[in-house]
Amino acid sequence: MARVCEVCGKKTQVGNSVETRGKAKYLGGVGTKVTGITRRKFKPNLQRVHVMTPNGSHQSMRVCAQCIRSGSIRKVVRQRPFKLPGK
């Protein structure tokens, strides 16, 4: 199973991890130097959530946190199994 958001299609991206050494000039040093560059992966923050589909059924999906916060999906509303009489 791929690490992909099922709503927006966000997936793993590749970039660089830059290692620096030294003290910045504005702090009184001679400047920072790059001592190493290696490849790294930026993975999306995927969560497995129960989603209500447009036709009213429930489904479990892998969705990124950004889609959950933005309201792109409707989470399943779980009711209490019973209510106590009185209050």
pLDDT in tens, 34-75: 999 999 999 999 999 999 988 888 999 999 999 999 999 999
Fold classified for 13-70: Ribosomal Protein L24e; Chain: T; (2.30.170)
Instruction: Give the integer Cα–Cα distance in Å for 42 and 65.
Output: 14
User: Count of CB atoms within 10 A of residue 10's CB?
Assistant: 19
Q: What is the pLDDT of residue 56?
A: 85
pLDDT in tens, 21-34: 999 999 999 999 99
pTM of the model: 0.71
- Give yes or no for a contact between 67 and 46, defined as CB atoms under 8 angstroms apart: no
For residue 23, the one-letter residue type is: K
- Report the candidate in 37, 46, 30 with the shortest Cα–Cα distance to residue 16: 37
For 58, the token pair is 């429930």
For residue 87, pLDDT beyond 70 = no
Nearest 5°: phi and psi at 68? -65, -45
Under a CB-based contact definition with an 8 Å cutoff, are residues 11 and 44 in contact? yes
